[in-house]
Structure 1
């Protein structure tokens, strides 16, 4: 087994690793050797030299080391193959059989920091979010091909994490013939088209599977507004669940085209007025349709702690507008996909919105990540999606 450079912690700073938290911050370090390439594998020891964990190192990040394992084992292709097989195996066991798109591996939640792997039928979309995952890219690619047996692999390494890690964005085909046309997937028996090359996130919001299913179960007889609708997935579930009408609103013309196609391949007839290209804040103020179920699934308003105050105001305003539009007994599905907006803060935002809207609001159900986006109990920072089903009263 290879030997790795040693990162030594200050006395008394080993507690978080003993508690299996995978991040080591710069302030905890007593000694870090020079000349280590960003992303290279290192060992972390306490002040006495006791081995604590093995992970990847980035001198440009406040998170100096991201720990992959607390065991003395090589981080080689075999190690990654084992992780991938385990991660995909239990997901296939638990997900519905009529679903062929899901998250295969979710970073720290699956003990592989910085690596995101999503399956879309016979192919994979992969994100290398950190210097460590990027450094191990070729080893990981070998493991992906062996463990997951994909026809193709598309890399979509973009976003704020890459920038924070000192990495440029990278979007390219890694393996096989990546389709130029949208890939057709199935989720809970519904069909969707996914643009794996240029769609939002990795092409589809896989983390909302269970929330869409919940909406489908409550939509019967209702007129539904799907705000920030993107591919129209919530609307597809709503109509399949017996909704009278589903209106999808998004700023993107491409998103509305994709939503229309998704309705068509599910045999759902929709009118042009049901696919609206508009700013949702203006739409909620100006449109006169009587909606009795509203879905708010906005993009991350708070992409950093510095943006949290303004983001909180935005979340409050959109929920206030929705509450004012709903009749007594109307349902509100409201989400935040920002890790900086905790479930507790999200509740406080709903409280403030309800108070200003002069409406009674009951939380019927708490929503979150789908089961293929697990939360590592030792890494609470991995929680980013919070949601509530609310009943809006008088």
Structure 2
């Protein structure tokens, strides 16, 4: 028998519910030898087979499950099937003439823990963040090129979380000759993606539906886009009929690309403004100057890195939302987001409500926004739900 993990008594419930993680504390012993990323079988304390996963001796998540089917091997065919199933779903979601950028593999939610694959036109950007993903890199690239023969593949596994798996950051070409910048279509808009240096895999695909919502709400509005990055929320707002957009970001290169996006989409450049400043500082200045907008978008980076940092992060979200609420004219709208998976939706709503109280204003939640449809949430892994957004009317009542 190959190497296998035996669980502590009564620590099998989550696996029986097909949750894909086995924590270090649940493991009674490892029988046989397993190196980083090796496939191991998992048994309960009575000797019943539960599933098969990737072993990670350095991580608190000791095993990430590949399969709960006893006759399923973790071979080329396994990765091909997973990628094919996921691609079929994405093809149902998008008209390729209007949107040719999408998340192909959303890690655990597509049955491939630690693997993210984003497609930007003819470039697939891969993130391999777990020991098992690292082990099977060649099989994954083979499956990608089998299903999309004309694709170029680039790796962006330059994420700190790899250290928890005992892995070094890695970037580089895996197949073909990918361009380092690619212009993609999203809902008919043109967006330049920096494959090599852009955030995450180059772009925030998860906000696609929220950007479309912003276009709907922005008609005749003066819009403040905070943490604007490359200004795509603003492009949608201008397309939706905004009177003006102001992009605030600490990164000048991101603002330069935001400016390029307005020109690329033949939008009115006179309506777009750019502020290279820390958002907290800019919002405090707007408050001091009593400057307000019809619509404020708050899309900050992830504040919560661990459960231990949740309380501190909640304070950060409260502060930024209080100043964001100050910046909205009475009767205007706040679109506010948290991309922290460890921030529960009900707590985020409470934080925003408390921020409104501190600002001496009233909010009414008129819509909820979530990660786009190509970032699905498998029923057995609720942690896959991470992006939460609220559309709030702000009044002085």
**Given the two structures, how large is their TM-score scaled by the length of structure 1?**
0.96
CA distance in 2 between partners of 1:193 and 1:268 (Å): 15
Match of 2:309 in 1: 307
| Structure 1 residue 48: Cα displacement | 2.9
Is the Cα contact below 8 Å between 1:226 and 1:247 reproduced in 2? Answer: yes
Aligned to 2:152: 152
Distance 1:361 1:96 in 2: 36
Gaps of 5+ in 1: none
Partner of 1:318: 320
User: For the Cα contact (< 8 Å) 1:225–1:294, is it kept in 2?
Assistant: yes
Q: Does the alignment pair 1:12 with 2:10?
A: yes
8 Å Cα contact 1:84/1:148 also seen in 2: no
Cα contact 1:85–1:148 (8 A) shared by 2: no
Q: After TM superposition, give the deviation of residue 34 of structure 1 in Å.
A: 5.3
**Distance in 2 of aligned mates of 1:311 and 1:200:** 20
Cα offset, 1:285, TM superposition: 1.9
Measure, in 1, the Cα distance between the counterparts of 2:239 and 2:80: 39
Is 2:98 the partner of 1:101? no
Asked if 1 retains the 8 angstrom alpha-carbon contact of 2:86 and 2:110, the reply is: yes
Asked if 1:162 corresponds to 2:162, the answer is yes
In the alignment, is the contact (CA less than 8 A) between 2:314 and 2:351 conserved in 1? yes
Q: Once the 2 structures are TM-superposed, how far is the Cα of residue 364 of structure 1 from its aligned partner?
A: 0.8
CA distance in 2, matches of 1:19, 1:389: 34
- Are the equivalent residues in 2 in contact too, given 1:151–1:177 (CA < 8 A)? no
Q: Distance in 2 between matches of 1:355 and 1:96?
A: 43
What residue is the counterpart of 2:366 in the other structure?
364
Residues 309-337 of structure 1: CA deviation (Å, up to 9, x unaligned) = 22211111111011112111110000011
How do 1:332-351 and structure 2 match up within 5 A? 332-351=334-353
Looking at structure 2, the residues matched to 151 and 92 of structure 1 have their Cα atoms a distance apart, in angstroms, of: 16
The 2-side partners of 1:44 and 1:266 are apart by 53
1:116 and 2:116 correspond: yes
Q: Is the 8 A contact 2:4 2:32 kept in 1?
A: no
Q: 8 Å contact 1:232–1:262 — kept in the other structure?
A: yes
Q: What is the deviation of 1:271?
A: 4.2
2:278 equivalent in structure 1: 279
The C-alpha deviation readout for 1:236-295, integer Å capped at 9, x for no partner, is 000000000011110001101111111111001324970111111111122354311000
Distance 1:290 1:45 in 2: 60
Q: Which moved more, 1:152-161 or 1:356-365?
A: 152-161
Residue 221 of structure 1 deviates from its aligned partner by 0.2
Cα separation, 1, equivalents of 2:342 and 2:222 = 32
Matched, 1:125 2:88: no
Alignment of 1:1-394 (within 5 A): 4-33=2-31, 35-72=33-70, 73-97=72-96, 98-180=98-180, 182-271=181-270, 274-287=273-286, 288=289, 289-394=291-396
SS in 2 for 1:274: strand
Deviates more, 1:102-111 or 1:383-392: 383-392
Distance in 2 between the 1:321 and 1:258 partners? 26
| Distance in 2 (alpha carbons) for counterparts of 1:6 and 1:130 | 19
Instruction: Give unpaired runs (5+ residues) of structure 2.
Output: none
Q: Secondary structure at the match of 2:269?
A: coil
Offset at residue 113 of structure 1 (A)? 0.3
Does the C-alpha gap of structure 1 residues 32 and 252 become closer, same or farther in structure 2, counting only changes over 3 Å? same
Three-state SS of the structure 1 residue aligned to 2:138 is: helix
Segment of structure 1 superposing worse, 342-351 or 91-100: 91-100
Return the alpha-carbon distance in structure 2 between the equivalents of residues 216 and 264 of structure 1: 17
Structure 1 contact 250–278 (Cα < 8 Å) conserved = yes
**In the alignment, is the contact (CA less than 8 A) between 1:57 and 1:65 conserved in 2?**
yes
SS in 1 for 2:366: strand
Offset at residue 233 of structure 1 (A): 0.5
The Cα of 1:120 is off from its aligned counterpart by 0.1
3-state SS in 2 of match to 1:154 = strand
Aligned residues of 1:225 and 1:247 also touching (Cα < 8 A) = yes
